[in-house]
Structure 1
Amino acid sequence: MDCEIRPCRIEEAKQLEEIEQRCFLLERIGLRQFRYLQRSQSATVLVAAQAEQILGYGVVLRRCNSKIARVYALAVDLPFQRMGVGQSLLNALEQQALSWGAHNIRLEVHQANYGAQKLYLDSGYLEFARLPYYYTDLCSAIRMEKSLIRGGSL
């Protein structure tokens, strides 16, 4: 699906919260946190949009003096899932991490989120750990990592 990937505008935070509510039952990012992330120097919030409609969003974080970035959040609104929007957002988050000088990028995914796991595996992410009881439903998180440097290894 053709969409524009761009930085999220301050006034779009409410739309991100609404997507979050539709996509996740637990561990939701609230409006206040989205607004904080939008202003943070250590975060980039991107959206996938068609005209003024937000199809999905992604957040990538960095830490000073670290070569590892983190995909903090990635969500695609339900009607637009499995249409390439998530892949486009993930690619853009990785490019942002590279622009910061990151060599690797990490994320956590719910053990029952099979669609997201497939996206990450198909994109070159590898599982390196499991965190038992990570989520409030007591399910595990799968920790995944990808090298952003061509020919790099984990």
Structure 2
Amino acid sequence: MAQPIAPEPAAFTAAQRQVARFRPTDSKAPNQNDLRAFVHTWFAGFDHIEPAEFFLAHWDDADMTLNMDGQVLAHDHASFRAWYADALQHIPWDFHDILDLHVTGTQASGWTAEFFVHHVGEWRDQPLQDAAPAPGRYFNRLIRANWRVEHDGQRFVIRRYELTTAQTILAQ
């Protein structure tokens, strides 16, 4: 006579749910790791001073927001170009170290990415073409980032990009 199957222990069923959460319906579809890689590629673009179009390829002109400490920095492609051009006039170099990156969501629902950016660099008060040869002031800060991202089948599209200064270590 066959023995009845005992119910699975709670820890085992929780582990099964965790595995099921990551099981893809399409192994070629973008997943959380792809978004993590995109976040790193995005900030490497700032580090290498990519042209504005590099970034704008991942924003819908009609549906985008870039906020820093509650202030709207860009709400469409034109305003991003203006903000970025101004930043490049004052920041000859900077570096972005991505910390504590957490991604939730799926391709179907979209993703939320929450992380910190350790942002260091140099600030010049005068536009770079007018600046004296002396270096500017260094800055060192920790920024909390919250993104809302979708994938349109070809690329990641950032819908919401919110930044909040978490700590100023060395003011510009």
TM-score above 0.5, yes or no: no
TM-score of the aligned structures, taking structure 1 as reference length: 0.30
TM-score of the aligned structures, taking structure 2 as reference length: 0.27
